[in-house]
Chains A and B, each alone.
Chain A
């Protein structure tokens, strides 16, 4: 599932290892989440949302919603 984890992490200037430590998971898990190869369990999704202070739906995206929100966040990030 597409998600905004990498972009949100970059906004906070955190490394994958730092985010992994915050979430209590391995760096491998953070990487797998960011590249969309692994979807988190509900408790982990809630922890991610809490860390980034955003609703789950704003972090994990589906289909068309993914494209629109990705573009918006990329534009905001590069501005």
Chain B
């Protein structure tokens, strides 16, 4: 299992480094020529390494022991549910004058609540 954790760390970290590099590169290139035809594919290019980061986690999930997998699934359920409720609720607030928030913040919110969910679930089993 330690081997699985090490492999996950390497794969996830590599994907995150790739994400940062692609993000900076795409931002820089798009700013240099904002009207170019390739601005659309370049704009979504950071999603590719993010997808590989997600893939590395899914692979790791299959290699975890049963309790750790249970904890992660409860954490993801909590994160997804809480994100859904919060973003849905904030949508109504935007209708009454609250500032618009870009959809790009949904994923960081989900990840943060997923982490919180993992802490709560982990404590439940200790």
| Residues in chain A within 8 A of chain B (CB atoms) | 24-26, 28-29, 31-32, 35, 37-38, 40-41, 44
Per-residue 0/1 for B88-126: is the Cβ within 8 Å of any A Cβ (1 yes, 0 no)? 000000000000000000000000000000000010111
Chain B residues proximal to chain A, CB less than 8 Å: 1, 65-68, 70, 122, 124-126
B126:A28 contact, CB within 8 angstroms:
yes
CA distance A32 to B65 in the complex (A): 13
- Where chain A touches its partner, the secondary structure class is loop
Chain A residues within an 8 Å CB radius of B65: 24-26, 29
Instruction: Check A24–B66 contact: CB distance below 8 A.
Output: no
Kindly identify which residue among A28, A35, A44 contacts B68, using a CB–CB cutoff of 8 Å: A28
CA distance in complex: A35, B67 (Å): 14
A10 to chain B, nearest CB (A): 20
Q: Are B67's CB and A28's CB within 8 A?
A: yes
Interfacial chain A residues near B122, Cβ < 8 Å: 28
- Shortest distance from the beta carbon of A29 to any chain B beta carbon, whole Å: 4
Determine if B66 and A37 form an interchain contact, defined as CB atoms under 8 angstroms apart.
no
Q: How far is the CA of A41 from the CA of B67 in the complex (A)?
A: 10
